[in-house]
Structure 1
Amino acid sequence: MERLHSVGTATLVALMAAHRRDLRARRVADAADSPRRGAPARRHADMSRPAGHGLAPETPFAAGARQAPRD
């Protein structure tokens, strides 16, 4: 029974190692396919607009239009 347990443990360890190698290979392949390879990580998805202004890009105010003064 003890030998069966050690064989099962060895098999589990081998499967986990193979899984880690597969995940690492996928991560490397995904990084190689990335268009921004080597580029620093961005803090915001769209750096063309300041973060947090809350306006959609298709609104005229997001494009820089000024609001008419109130009377």
Structure 2
Amino acid sequence: MEIENPLEILKITVSAATPVVLFALGVLINNSIKKSERSTSLRSEIYKLIGGDLNDIYSFTSHLLASGKNSAHLA
């Protein structure tokens, strides 16, 4: 098979490269999704450990801020 036309060479090159590029993109996307899932799982585990304490801290600071606003109006 003799190819003399540069356009034909380009067509064959693109035809051969397309599956390789699509495979590489698929692998990259799959790895990204798995990394995101691990991150979400880790975040969930951390919140299970400290969630109650965070709620206590939030409630305490909210109470202090609310108390401070009320006392400022009384002065």
How does the TM-score come out when normalised to structure 1? 0.52
In the alignment, structure 1 segments of 5+ residues that lack a partner are 54-60, 62-66
Give % identity: 6
- The aligned length equals 53
Instruction: Name the Cα RMSD after superposition.
Output: 3.2
Within a 5 Å distance, the mapping from 1:41-60 to structure 2 comes to: 42=58, 46-49=61-64, 50=66, 53=69
Bigger helix fraction: 2
Matched, 1:26 2:9: no
In the alignment, structure 2 segments of 5+ residues that lack a partner are 1-16
Instruction: State the AA in 1 paired with 2:47.
Output: A
Where has structure 1 moved over 2 Å in runs of 4 or more?
none
